[in-house]
Structure 1
Amino acid sequence: MKNLKYIFLQVAVIIMVSCQSDLLETIPNDRISKEIFWITLDDVEFAANAVYPSLDGTSIFSYDGLTDQLMTNHPFNANVELQRGFGTIASGRYFSEWEDAYQGIRRANDFMDNVDQVEESDQEAINKYKAEVMTLRAYQYIKLVMLFGDVPLLTTGIDIPQGRTVTRTPVSQIWDFIEDDLTQAAVWLPYENNGRIGKGAALGLKARAMLYAGRYSEAAEAAKEVIDSNVYSLYPDYFNLFQYEGENNAEVMLAREYAPDVNSHNIYSSVAPWSQISGSNGSLYVPTKSIIDAYPMSNGLAISDPQSGFDPLNPYENRDPRLAQSVFLTEITPLPDGGIYGSTPETDGSDAVQITVYSTATGYNVRKYVADEDYSNPSNSGLNIILIRYAEVLLTYAEAKIELGEIDESVYAAINLVRQRESVMLPPFTSEVANTQASLRSIVRNERTVELAFEGFRLFDIRRWEIAEEVMPGVPFGMTYLDNDNLVQISLEGFDRSFDTGRDYLWPIPNRERELNTQLTQNPGW
């Protein structure tokens, strides 16, 4: 009798469900469903907003932390094994970069797949949001290409079975896609951005991409369009450009925006001198002698030039002002707590070299983005992180024109505008000083090195310039100091960096991805 009762109950349920065909077609109440989304222009804006968090933020430091400019100072950080050439196809850093970029691309593709469902008469507004998302997607592909080379080019959403069969797309085709998308985005976008991606960001990113791709005519053209717009200008104070005071100024073309308590970051607690952090942290990435030596003297001459006036006993005297504005220098730079930075080894200085495992190992600390306002709450910074700025566009224009052999007054003007920022004012370059492609190439590369230091460019620059095997291998060096009237050079023995030219110009396709998709081939040497 019990079995019969259960059979009758099952039949009744089946009949009831068959009579109410839509009973199981319910709209979930724990998330936004497509059935109630993609209807209004507000939905389009909200969906576009969801793609912005994929932008880089404080991670820009981790790129330079893999180069000759910065040393990853914490011995157990994942970057250390990569700097020393010990990375493998299973290294987490390679996978996290791949995963983060494709998460951003997936969000962008979902937007592009669904936005046209919205019945909205204001097509101009729809196109603007499309352009923002296209620019955000291009940003991710630029990183992927520079890190991994050929990668799958996904322009629409895919399901799990498709994800197991995608193959790598040749780099040239990806550059084509990036160029086309950013060209169209620039057409749809206004220059006014109000914190969102505008025409300048799309053009600036296009100029960067084309420079990286070696498509110099296209790079120069995109940069020139930004220059000729007269929308952007250099912020007069280089130091404050990276402080709260300089946020949203006319030089900033794209920034990852933050706010304390709501959407904060911890760059202060990561890179500030150890003495300025409450607790064990700080000095995650510290500058090396390589970047310090790149800053010229205030007369514009390299410190290696016998006529420069460089004094090894007073190495920071009469230097390019950007050095002291970018780096904490011992016995010179004020600290957020009101003291003076002191890193000379075996002294009572506030940040003496290797006084703890978290203090600087080189005698230097990064000053960019270390704001006094964050001293009291170092893990709750709301300081915006700049991703594209006008100075980069000027240097991109100059470099592209130099590589094309089109050396004219506009090249000197672009470089000198950066060098003669109000707070910098180095002597201008003229054709009497340098007029060959080789001499100007050296000038613009060094200018890019110091102007954009610690902003996430160096890893990509040494790859595209193919100089990584020259600048990366060997023991990193730090500051020099006097010890009983002897000049001593800090040398990080035991931290030899390496670079294999047959392997390290590209990262490996992460092992986890190739285990899931056997169609993905591996890069040479891995």
Structure 2
Amino acid sequence: MKTMKRYLIILYVILLSGCDYLDVVPDDVATIDHAFYMRASAERYLFTCYSWMPNHASLSTNPGFLGGDEMWAVPTSGMSSVRLARGLQNQNSSLLNYWDGTEGRAMFQGLRDCNIFLENVRNVPDLEESMKNVWEAEVKFLKAYYHFWLMRMYGPIPLIKENLPIDATIDQVQVHREPVDMIVDYIVELMDEAIEVLPEEVDMQAMAGRINKPIAMAVKAQVLVTAASPLFNGNPDYIGFKNARGENLFNAEHDLGKWKRAMDASKEAIDLCSSLGYQLYRYLPGIGQTGLSESTLIQMSIRNSVTERWNSEVIWGNSNSLIDQPALTPRTWDPSRNHNAVAGAFAPTLKIAEMFYSKNGVPINEDKDYDYANRYDIQVASNEDRLNIREGYTTAKLHFDREDRFYASLGFDGGVWYGQGNFDESNNFYIQNRMGGAAGLQILWAYSVTGYWPKKLINPQNVIQTNSYTQRWYSWPVIRLADLYLMYAEAYNEYQGPGEEVFYYLDQVRERAGLKGVQESWTEHSNNPGKFSTQQGLRQIIHHERLIELALEGKRYWDLRRWKRAHTEQSMPIEGWDVFEQSPEGFYRKRVIFNQTFRQRDYLWPLNEGTLLRNKNLVQNPGW
């Protein structure tokens, strides 16, 4: 144990209680010497470093899905992410605690393992130099990403640049929270070092999920866009927020240069991805799917950009993150099939249904031809609507004349659902979501509380049958190309204002969605036709485009925070239809499900009181 003691991390003991530091050594090897004795054991330790990666597709531990206002759970759900959305975060036993690891992966332990790897990988005798360099670069990326994950939640954090020796002084052990700008610079420094070495491509059969250069460059862009955003860039709410050394933890002045860094990093990532053949995904019909309508092709392009494994758009697909599709799926499409193979319990909210554009590619409250005032009235679907709404079915006017991303993303009462074992456009499945309907409320722990379903997250190749549900798993797309395009458009507009570069990348995303370009759509259909010509107006358009294109993918939660819009958006009532009613007139009455409140303090998560007691140099986040 002598060697292990040399590397004992006192910091981990201070920050994380109740865990045995030996538990993370792979294969029960009790010494670092043995862990790096040969290539095989060193590779297992590399996988240990990967094992701390957050599960991006987890409904319970990734707050992006259920921690905000995008999807709402049945009342019986006790998930921590759901409790977070209900305003139950606290400093005594904080929810989804990635700092201490009590309800999330212990990021500081992950950083400890990354440092051990970086300190020892050069000692592996049978590992060629080139592979040492690549593994080292992978772990530098992981180290940077774990710092970033913590920063998005907690803001200023300690920087874990290296592990502390056993003879560390009390001052060394009692670490401080560092200024946000210093944290970002360190993350980017690690990313740059990794980018220089990482391969441009990896073998998807043998190394699926391993970090490559496009992933690192895209995440670097994400880090810099986050750092340039209002929450972290000159936020006046945190003037006077200092660490125990008296250092300001936030820069009080907005720095336009941060948007320049973000713009450049985004464009560099786009250029690399383009050179390697990444492109916005387009659906190619399979055998027996001939003569599909343009609308169905567009909708399948949107759905499969998420659910088709390793498609042309996915930059970073986390092969260890698999979303719980049965928990998101309506119980059945067919009243004759009464089974328990699926138990959907999480529903997009009414505000998300209203967020999508009209068929003219502008917000429904801006479309001068859309009957916005009467959107909650009911209407019978005609033959012209049959590809999106069951012909002859009575549903809300809100569901008519919407863009294809609305129909690709949401399931709703009367809405057509292409796929799931039925690829016949002339006889599509459809949702019956009113009380007594096949997908309506049957059991209190598995139904849609709002009347909507997250269709976008369900693989169209899944097959629902009388007594079974066969699902095709897919690797969760942590970052896809459309996300990167929209990051670049946002950074460009923030740095330079409206320009052709912005419109080009916005319009690439919109064209795939079957929409005309921003300038043409707003000029022809908006009651604010010049909106795109100002930086502020174009900012609103870009934000709206991100929220639509990346809807239900766990992005909205983080975007609303970095834009400092969460205190407005998440202080509105969570609403849906009256799912306890059977008639259209009763069902289509707007119902308040929960009065959500977001306080200023909620932008940064609290540190546990126990953590503060163990380390007197740590300071609590404002408001807690």
Q: State TM-score, norm by structure 1.
A: 0.83
Give the Å deviation of 1:286: 1.6
Q: CA deviation at 1:485?
A: 5.0
Indicate the residue corresponding to 1:427 in structure 2: 516
Q: Which moved more, 1:151-160 or 1:186-195?
A: 151-160
Q: Out of 476, 487, 490, which is 2:590 matched to?
A: 490
Tell whether 2:316 aligns with 1:254. Answer: yes
**Matched residue type, 1:428:** G
Deviations 1:210-263 (A, max 9, x none): 0000021111111111222222211111211222xx2112211111114xxxxx
Aligned twin of 1:240: 304
1:523 matched to 2:566: no
| Alpha-carbon distance between aligned partners in 2 of 1:121 and 1:508, rounded to the nearest angstrom | 43
2:508 corresponds to which letter in structure 1?
L
**Whole-Å Cα distance in 2 between the matches of residues 361 and 354 of structure 1?**
12
Letter paired with 2:404: P
Which string of whole-angstrom CA distances, capped at 9 and with x for unpartnered residues, describes residues 113-149 of structure 1? 2212234684333222222222222222222111111
**Aligned residue number for residue 114 of structure 1:** 120
Distance 1:365 1:515, change over 3 A: farther
Residue 271 (structure 1) aligned with residue 328 (structure 2): yes
Counterparts of 1:374 and 1:386 in 2: how far apart (Å)? 22
Query: Structure 2: how far apart are the matches of 1:248 and 1:97?
Result: 32
1:462: Cα distance to partner? 1.0
Amino acid at match of 2:413: T
SS at match of 1:71: strand
Q: Which amino acid in 2 is paired with 1:358?
A: A
1:75-114 matches, cutoff 5 A: 75=76, 76-96=78-98, 98-99=100-101, 100=105, 101-114=107-120
Partner secondary structure for residue 192 of structure 1: coil
Question: Cα distance, 1:499 vs. partner?
Answer: 1.2
**What amino acid is the match of 2:398?**
P
Offset from partner CA, 1:334-390 (integer Å, 9 cap, x none) = 38476532222x3x2122257523211100111233234375876986321111111
- State how far apart, in whole Å, the 1-side matches of 2:34 and 2:446 are: 51
CA contact (8 A) 1:328 1:367 kept: yes
- Supply the distance in 2 between the matched residues of 1:516 and 1:49 (Cα, whole angstroms): 30
Letter in 2 for 1:220: M
Indicate the residue corresponding to 1:343 in structure 2. Answer: 433
Counterpart of 2:488 (choices 397, 403, 409) is 397
> Runs of 5+ in structure 1 lacking a partner?
1-27, 259-263
Matched, 1:172 2:155: no
Measure how far apart 1:32 and its partner are: 6.8
**Percent identical across equivalent pairs?**
27
On the 8 A contact 2:158/2:176 being kept in 1, the answer is: yes
Structure 2 residue 28 is matched with structure 1 residue 35: no
What is the Cα deviation at residue 323 of structure 1? 1.8
**Equivalent residue number for residue 153 of structure 2:** 147
* Cα distance change, pair 69–153 in 1 and its aligned pair in 2 (3 A): same
User: What displacement does 1:175 show?
Assistant: 0.5
Change (3 A) 1:370 1:412: same
Rg comparison, structure with higher value: 1
Instruction: Tell me, in whole angstroms, the C-alpha distance in 2 between the residues paired with 1:286 and 1:225.
Output: 37
CA-based RMSD of the aligned residues comes to 3.1
Query: Aligned runs of 1:327-338 on 2, under 5 Å?
Result: 327-334=410-417, 336=420
Deviation larger for 299-308 or 457-466? 299-308
Q: Which residue of 1 aligns with 2:265?
A: 222
CA distance in 2 between counterparts of 1:449 and 1:519 reads 39
1:193 maps to what in 2? 202
Contact 2:497 2:535 in 1 (8 A): no
- Give 3-state SS (helix, strand or coil) of 2:456's partner: coil
Closer, same or farther: CA 29–363 of 1 in aligned 2, 3 Å = closer
Give the Cα–Cα distance (whole angstroms) in 1 for the partners of residues 502 and 480 of structure 2. 18
Please tell me the residue identity of whatever aligns with 1:242. Answer: V
TM-aligned CA deviation for residue 305 of structure 1: 2.2
Which has the higher mean CA deviation after the structures are superposed, 359-368 or 477-486?
A: 477-486
Paired residues in the alignment total 486
Structure 1 distance, partners of 2:213, 2:463, is: 32
Q: Match for residue 51 of structure 2? A: 53
What secondary structure is seen at the aligned counterpart in 2 of 1:93? coil
Unaligned ranges ≥5, structure 2:
1-25, 229-257, 283-300, 379-396, 423-428, 524-529
* Distance in 1 separating the partners of 2:28 and 2:83: 42
Greater Cα offset, 371-380 or 351-360: 371-380
User: Do the aligned partners of residues 350 and 487 (structure 1) sit closer, same or farther apart at CA in structure 2, a change above 3 Å counting?
Assistant: closer
Equivalence for 1:356? 444
CA distance in 2, matches of 1:354, 1:96: 36
1:138 aligns with 2:135: no
Counterpart of 2:473, as a letter, is G
